Amino acid sequence: VDNTSKVLRQRFLDYFIKDHNHNFIRSSPVVPHHDASLAFVNAGMNQFKGILLGRQKPRYLKVANSQKCVRIGGKHNDLNVVGTDGYHHTFFEMLGNWSFGNYFKKEACELAWQLLTEVYKIDSRILYVTYFAGDKVLGLQPDYECKEIWKNIGVSEDRILPFGTGDNFWEMGTTGPCGPCTEIHVDMRGGTNRAQFVNKGLSDLTELWNIVFIQFTRNSDNSIKPLPTNHVDTGMGLERLCALLQGKLSNYDTDLFSPIFVAIHKICKNIPPYSGKYGEADWNLLDTNYRILADHARMITACLADGVIPEQNQKLRKIMRKAFSVSEAYFNVENGLLKELTNYVVEKLGCFYPEMEKNIKTIHKIVDHEEEVYRLIRKVSAAEWKKIVNKQPDLSNFDVVEMPGLVAAYKELKSLNTNSLTPQLGYKLFDTYGLDQDTIEKLSSKLNKKFDIDGFKDELQKAKARSRHVSHSNVDRFLDTLEKSQVPVTDDSYKYIYSKTGNGYNF
């Protein structure tokens, strides 16, 4: 059987759409133009938040999609592990099916189990399921109903595991739809030689599919309130599914990543090919950076295709600068590597996400521009920082390549005629100069300035509230227009939203 990513994605959609009467909804852009509580879309359900909360009427009661997701901040932040394990990426595709007040727990579990075991023909002996173990603090009971459902499906009891709130009570963010979930995990070692797993960066069980029973909403006062209707919201990582069905131990060994590694190797000079090793030792530092570069190339391509501009999005800018610095430090390529890699990403994903193909020229233009800016700043700031470090050698541990704003921040702190750093100035170092909290703390301590961390955190909160306020009125305005024009929440309505906001596909 053909188990390439393209086929596996389509098989998922066909199963729900053709065989089980769901409607297809296109992926929304990776930035939620309609939700100020999130910086990036982190799950398939984001675009359905209005429906789940009962604020919008769904056009269809059963839908399926493949959503472009980014997890580099907020409640779901995987940035720091990317490159070190085989199954977390900054950008990934989440396959999902939804029931808006239609079917609930029983059918959701049955549909998932049948797809995995009968359509994808995964041996049920390597599968485990979890159910919500309850939470006394939240006042929530264990989900024994879910446990019963799995027993009736035929899963043996020793493979049905109770998991706590951290894993099995899913929440989109600090506020918004939430509920108990049940997860399907895979024993990737099943039927294989255990020795293969040593140093592979793989845990015993890998989570494959999360089925959430959306029954509550978390409010900004932290309380959890039941919703008027019960919904099903599921998400399965396409990259993990590919690894499993292509017989690989790591997502990076699938057809989604291999061509990118081959390309990197071809372009860079005198560097060994990707070997697929994991761990901290020097001999596989190169592999880790192969993974970081390939991962970031996918994330950057997806963001740029959706109209995210690094000028306006510091997080994207940071990831791009990381990709440039990795290209140079590990692959000896001074220019153009990232740009070339975006072609390979588009070649792989463009067939399903046409916005990538359509915007390829813009993607190239922005990457070129950012790379030029990066090299310039780096050259100037690196030279200046070197002078500063000569005067004060204990500053040599700061990474000016990733944070060129250090130079300006240092000068500003030096020119202070007090011994303390106000929360407002702290915020300026964060917002204008791009320093993270940790760096601000370390730099101010090296320069003997007292830094009021609590005050700084207040300042951050205030800034968040400001941006939320502004965007909420935008959101309300276009939801309003949406209602009046009666554009349903579908692919078309998203196109409509983008055309109204001037973002997304129309940039």
- Please work out the total of residues on this chain that contact Mg ion, with binding judged by CB under 5 A: 3
Q: What distance in Å separates the CA atoms of residue 422 and residue 411, rounded to the nearest whole number?
A: 16
359 binds, among ligand ATP, Mg ion, none (CB under 5 to 8 A by kind): none
Q: Phi/psi zone of residue 181: left (φ > 0), alpha (ψ -120 to 50 degrees), beta?
A: beta
- Please work out the total of residues on this chain that contact ligand ATP, with binding judged by CB under 6 A: 17
Nearest residue to Mg ion, scored by beta-carbon proximity: 210
Q: Which 8-state DSSP code applies to residue 47?
A: G
Task: Pick the closer one to ligand ATP by CB: 75 or 365.
Answer: 75
Pairing of strands 450-451, 420-421: parallel
Task: Pick the closer one to Mg ion by CB: 205 or 447.
Answer: 205
The site string for Mg ion over 221-240 (x = CB under 5 A, - otherwise) reads: --------------------
Q: Rounded to whole angstroms, what are the CA distances from 442 to 82, 384, 412, 426?
A: 25, 19, 15, 12
The site string for Mg ion over 155-184 (x = CB under 5 A, - otherwise) reads: ------------x-----------------
493 binds, among Mg ion, ligand ATP, none (CB under 5 to 8 A by kind): none
Q: Are 316 and 91 in contact (CB under 8 A)?
A: no
Minimum CB separation of residue 468 from ligand ATP in Å reads: 23
237 binds, among ligand ATP, Mg ion, none (CB under 5 to 8 A by kind): ligand ATP
Q: Rounded to whole angstroms, what are the CA distances from 23 to 60, 63, 195, 304?
A: 7, 4, 44, 28
Minimum CB separation of residue 234 from Mg ion in Å reads: 10
Among 210, 250, 288, 327, which residue interacts with Mg ion (rule: CB under 5 A)?
Answer: 210
Q: Are 103 and 249 in contact (CB under 8 A)?
A: no
What are the backbone angles phi and psi of residue 24, rounded to the nearest 5°?
-80, 135
Cα diameter, the chain: 72
Task: Pick the closer one to ligand ATP by CB: 79 or 443.
Answer: 79
Select the span of 79-87, 201-209, 328-336, 492-500 touching Mg ion (CB under 5 A).
Answer: 201-209
Residues 206-265 that bind ligand ATP (CB under 6 A): 207-210, 235-237, 239-240
Q: What distance in Å separates the CA atoms of residue 68 and residue 355, rounded to the nearest whole number?
A: 12
Nearest residue to ligand ATP, scored by beta-carbon proximity: 237
Q: Are 342 and 364 in contact (CB under 8 A)?
A: yes
Q: Phi/psi zone of residue 17: left (φ > 0), alpha (ψ -120 to 50 degrees), beta?
A: alpha
Is 71 a binding residue for ligand ATP by CB under 6 A? The answer is yes
Minimum CB separation of residue 293 from ligand ATP in Å reads: 16
Residues 131-150 that bind Mg ion (CB under 5 A): none
381 binds, among ligand ATP, Mg ion, none (CB under 5 to 8 A by kind): none
Pairing of strands 224-237, 205-218: antiparallel
Q: What distance in Å separates the CA atoms of residue 252 and residue 11, rounded to the nearest whole number?
A: 21
Q: Are 236 and 66 in contact (CB under 8 A)?
A: no
- Residue 170's H or E segment, with its range, is strand 169-171
Q: Which 8-state DSSP code applies to residue 504?
A: G
Instruction: Quote the distance between the C-alpha of residue 113 and its chain's center.
Output: 25
Minimum CB separation of residue 101 from Mg ion in Å reads: 23
Q: What distance in Å separates the CA atoms of residue 253 and residue 239, rounded to the nearest whole number?
A: 10
Please name the amino acid found at residue 73. Answer: G
Residues 395-454 that bind ligand ATP (CB under 6 A): none
The site string for ligand ATP over 75-94 (x = CB under 6 A, - otherwise) reads: -x-x---------xx--x-x
356 binds, among ligand ATP, Mg ion, none (CB under 5 to 8 A by kind): none
Residues 16-55 that bind ligand ATP (CB under 6 A): 43
208 binds, among Mg ion, ligand ATP, none (CB under 5 to 8 A by kind): ligand ATP
Is 207 a binding residue for Mg ion by CB under 5 A? The answer is yes
Q: What are the residues binding Mg ion (CB under 5 A)? A: 167, 207, 210
Q: What are the residues binding ligand ATP (CB under 6 A)? A: 43, 71, 76, 78, 88-89, 92, 94, 207-210, 235-237, 239-240
